[in-house]
Chains A and B, each alone.
Chain A
Amino acid sequence: MKKLTLLLALTFTTAILNAQELPSTMLKTLEGKKVDIKDVISSDGPTVISFWATWCKPCIKELTAFMDYAIDLEEELGVKVLAVSIDDSRNSARVAPLVQGQGWEYTVLLDENQDLKRNLGIVNVPFTLVLNNKGEIVWKHSGYSPGDEETLAEVVEEVAAGKSPSH
C-alpha cells in the first residue's frame, strides 16, 4: 500500500501540465456504423463532447438547455457538438427516438461498451469535454446543475477565440 501511495504521489507530482488528447476509440453511429472518435472531432473549431444516457435525467436537462446555445455556436463559430450516449446496446435502441422527440440537432454517437468513458476516466454522466481545433482537451466538467450551460457556452466562445478557458 505504501509503495502504491508513493507511486501515485510521484505520478501526480511529476506530471507536466500539458494538453491531453482523446485516445483513439471506436464508437457507433445511430446507423450502426463504427467510427473512431478521433475522426469525428472538428479541426476547424472547438468540439464539445457531452456524455449522456437515456436514463440520466440531468444529462437530458443539460443537452436540452444547451441546445439554445448550440444552434448559435455552430452557426457563428463552427463549433461541433457530439452527444455520446453510454447506453448499453439494448437501451441504445431508445436513443434515436428520444433524440428526435427532444428536438436535438446534435451528432449522436453510441459508446455501448463504455470504452471511451473508461479511457477518459469518467466516473458518471453527465460529463462534458471541450476540445480545441487541434483536438486537445482544454476543459472538462462533471455533473450538471441548471446554469452550467451558460458556463459551457462561455468556455466554448473563449476556446474558439484561441484563449484558454477562464472557468
Chain B
Amino acid sequence: MKRILLTSLYLFLGTSVYAQGQQSFGGQLHGNFQLDGQWYLRDEGIDPSGEFYPDERFLGQGYANFIYNQGDFSGGLRYENYQNVMLGFPEGYRGEGITYRFLRFKQDNLDITVGNFYEQFGSGMIFRSYEERGLGYDNAMDGVRIKANPVKGLYIKGILGRQRFYFEKSPGLVRGIDAEYNLTEFLPRLDSAGYRWNIGGSYLSKYQRSNDPFLILPENVAAAGVRTQITKGAWAFQAEYAFKANDPGADNGYIYKNGNGIIANLSYSKNGLGIIAGFKRIDNMSFRSDRNGSTIDMLVNYLSPTTQVHTYALPALYQYATQINGEEGGQVEANYKFKRKTKIGGKYGTLLTANYSVAQSIDKDFVDDSNDTLKVLQGYYSDPMRRGQIPYFHDFNVKITKKLNKNFKFNLSYLNLFYNRSVLEDGLGDEAILNNPDNQKLLGADIFIFESLIKLKSKHYLRTETQLLTTKDDRGSMAMMLAEYSIAPHWFFSIQDIYNYGNPVIDQRLHYPLASVIYTEGTSRFQISYGRQQRGIFCVGGVCRVVPPSNGVSFSLTSSF
C-alpha cells in the first residue's frame, strides 16, 4: 500500500507540474489517475451487528489510464489495483494488474484495434461494451475491432472477442457486425428538403460451450437489430427494434423463449421549447456472454431506462433499474424557457421542466401445463397488445429555475414517486408477485426540494439544498439540509445532514451527517469526507448496485493529463 501511495503521490505531483500535457517521441500522451480510500469506523447506530464493518478497517482502490497518440497510431493501457475493494463494489475486483491494453491503427477509411476496446451497435440493445467506474461496471472486449468507411455515408463495424469478467474473461465468444448508412448521401433530394435520415442494422452472435446433463442448451445464440433516425428542422424521430434467439440462462430461469425489444423517441426542439416522448418495451432481453452470469457481470447488451436520472440525494434513494427480463414504459419530458422581459420570464428568463415516466411489467401468461415439456420450456406467452399487471415505477416531477438578480438564483422541485421495492430491491420475478400480489412491498413518496445559489462576492458562492421526502413506507420520511461554500477556482466546502425522522423503528430515527472539503488545481482534484452513508442502491443508466451503510473518513484523488 505504501508503495502505491508513494507512486500515486509522485504521479499526482508529476501531473500537476506537467498539467499542460505530455509530448514525448513526437506523439502525445493523455491519461488519468484516480485513487479512493476509506478508513471505516464502527458505528452501532447504522450497523448494530457489525455485519458490514470490514475486517481490513481501511480499504483502497485506484487506477491509471494511459493513451498514446502519434499520427495514425494509438495505444494505451490501464493499471488497476484493489487492496482491497471498497464496500459496495463487486467482490470480483480483488488484486491488481493491467486490465486494459490496446493498439490501434487508423488510416484513410480503415480503423483497426487489437486488444481491448469499447464499442456499441445503435443504442446498445444487442451490443454495448462500456465501463462505468463509479458502478464497478466494465465489460470491455478483448479481441479485434475493424471499422471501415468504404463509400461516403456508409459506416461498417466488425467486432470479435471476449468480455472482461473482473480479472478474468467470460467463457463465451462475442462476434458481430454493424452497418449504418446516411440515406441523405444517396438521395440528395432529401438533403435539399432539409431531411437527415440514417438507417442501421446489426447482427451479433455469442458462442458458449454447453455440457448440461439435462438440457440441450443452444451454444450459438444470435441477435439482430434494425434502427433509424430521421430529423427535419426541430423534429427528430428515432426507433430501434432488436430480436434475440432463444437463450436459456440464469436470468430467465432457463426458458427457451425468444427475446425482443423496441424503443422509439419523438422530439421537438425549437425557440426555448424542448419536448421528448419515448416508448419502450422489452421482453426476455437478458443477454450475457455467460449464460450463468448474474448482477452486472458479462452483459453483452445494454437496455437503457426510460426514466429520468435524479442527482438530488433523496430522490436518488429510489432510482429505477431496467428489468432485463421484461418491462414496458414510457416517458414524456418538456423543457421550456420563458423569455427574458416577459411577465413570467422576468429579467433573466425562467426555466420550467416537467417529466413523467412510468415502467411496468409486460403481459405474461405463464405456462403451467407440466405434461407438455416443450410448452413449459417456453416459460410464458406475452401479448404485446395487453398491458402488464405489475406496476414497477412511476415518477412525475416539475421544476422551476429562476434567477432573481445578479447574486441570487433558486429552483424549486416537486416529485411524486412510486417504487416497487419487491421488484427493484428484492429482485422478485413477475410470477412470484402474481402468485402473491398482496405481499408486494411498495413505496409512494412526495418530495419537495428547494435549492439556492447566492453570490457573496466575486468567486465566492454559497449553495444550499433543502429536501423533504414524505412517505409512510420503507424507512419513512426524511429531511435533508446541505450547504456548500465555494471559492473559485480552488476550494470547496460542503456540509450536509439527512435526518430520517419518520422511521417506523424509533431506534432507527438517525442523522446521517457528512462533511467534505475539495481542493481543485486544474485537472487534479483532492477530496476528503467524513460522515455516515446510509444503505441504498446506486445506479448509473439503469444499472445498479447495492451500497451498504458505512461510517468513516474517505478520500479521493483524481487527476488527468
Cβ of A15 and Cβ of B18 under 8 Å apart? Answer: yes
Question: Does A140 make an interface contact (CB < 8 A)?
Answer: yes
Q: Is B22 an interface residue (CB 8 A)?
A: yes
> In whole angstroms, how far apart are the Cα atoms of A122 and B265 in the complex?
30
CA distance A31 to B229 in the complex (A): 9
Interfacial chain A residues near B34, Cβ < 8 Å: 123
Beta-carbon contact of B272 and A147 below 8 Å: no
Complex alpha-carbon distance, A18 and B21, angstroms: 7
Q: Is B220 an interface residue (CB 8 A)?
A: no
Assess A142 versus B120: contact at CB under 8 Å? Given A20-B21, A88-B302, A97-B274: no
Q: Chain B at the A interface: mostly helix, strand, loop or mixed?
A: strand
Known contacts A88-B120, A122-B32; is A142 also within 8 Å of B23 by CB? no
Is B210 an interface residue when CB atoms closer than 8 A count as contact? Answer: no
Cα–Cα distance between A13 and B11 once the two chains are bound (Å):
10
Number of interface residues of A (CB under 8 A): 66
A5 CB, nearest partner CB in chain B, Å: 5
Quick one: which of B97-134 are within 8 Å of A by CB? 98, 106, 118-120, 122-124, 128, 130, 133
Contact B21 A19, beta carbon cutoff 8 Å: yes
The reply to whether A97 and B269 form a contact with Cβ atoms under 8 Å apart is: yes
Given contacts A9-B10, A55-B309, A123-B34, contact A89 B231 (CB under 8 A): no
Q: Please measure, in the bound complex, the distance between the C-alpha atom of A141 and the C-alpha atom of B20, giving whole angstroms.
A: 11
Question: Is there an interface contact between A150 and B311, defined as CB atoms closer than 8 Å?
Answer: no
CB-nearest residue of chain A to B184: A33
A64 to chain B, nearest CB (A): 8
Q: How many whole Å from B221's CB to the nearest CB in chain A?
A: 23
Contacts of A148 in B (CB 8 A): 488-489
Once the chains are docked, how many angstroms separate the CA of A89 from the CA of B22?
Answer: 32
Check B23 against A16 for contact (C-beta < 8 Å). yes
Complex Cα–Cα for A96 and B229 (A): 14
Identify which of A16, A31, A113, A140 gathers the most chain B CB atoms within 10 Å of its CB.
A31
Query: Which residues of chain A are within 8 angstroms of B453 by Cβ–Cβ distance?
Result: 146
User: What residues on A are CB-neighbors of B525 within 8 Å?
Assistant: 142-143
Query: In the complex the two chains form, is A93's CB within 8 Å of B488's CB?
Result: no
Q: What chain B residues lie within 8 Å of A54 (beta carbons)? A: 309
* Docked CA distance A141–B521 (Å): 8
A2 to B182, CA, bound (A): 50
Which of B28, B155, B267 has a CB less than 8 Å from the CB of A23? B28
Q: Which residues of chain B come closer than 8 Å to A143, judged between CB atoms?
A: 518, 520, 525
Q: How large is the interface on B (under 10, 10 to 19, 20 to 34, 35 or more residues)?
A: 35 or more
Chain B residues, CB < 8 A from A8: 7, 11, 64, 66
State A152–B484 Cα separation when bound (angstroms). Answer: 21
Q: A35 interface residue, CB < 8 Å from B?
A: no
Q: Please, how many angstroms separate the alpha-carbon atoms of A100 and B351 in the complex?
A: 11
Chain A residues with CB under 8 A of B336? 101
Q: Which of B448-463 contact A (CB under 8 A)?
A: 453, 455, 458-461, 463
Which residues of A lie under 8 Å from residue B79 when comparing CB positions? 4
Verify B488–A151 contact, CB threshold 8 A: yes
Does A30 reach chain B (CB closer than 8 Å)?
yes
Residues of A within 8 A of B155 (CB): 34
In contact, A33 and B196 (Cβ under 8 angstroms): yes
- Chain B, 349-375, contact with A by CB distance < 8 Å: what is the 0/1 string? 101010000000000000000000000
Q: How far is the CA of A141 from the CA of B304 in the complex (A)?
A: 30
CB contact list, B139-164 vs A, under 8 A: 155
Q: 24 pairs across A/B with beta carbons < 8 Å?
A: A15-B29, A18-B23, A20-B20, A23-B30, A31-B231, A33-B196, A88-B128, A89-B124, A93-B238, A93-B276, A101-B337, A119-B30, A119-B74, A121-B65, A121-B67, A121-B560, A121-B561, A122-B560, A141-B489, A141-B520, A141-B522, A142-B523, A142-B558, A151-B459
Q: Which 8 A-B pairs have the closest CB atoms?
A: A101-B335, A97-B274, A147-B488, A20-B21, A146-B461, A121-B30, A90-B304, A15-B22
Q: Which chain A residues have a beta carbon within 8 Å of chain B's beta carbons? A: 1, 4-5, 8-9, 11-21, 23-24, 30-34, 54-57, 88-91, 93-94, 96-103, 112-114, 118-124, 127, 137-143, 145-148, 150-151, 167
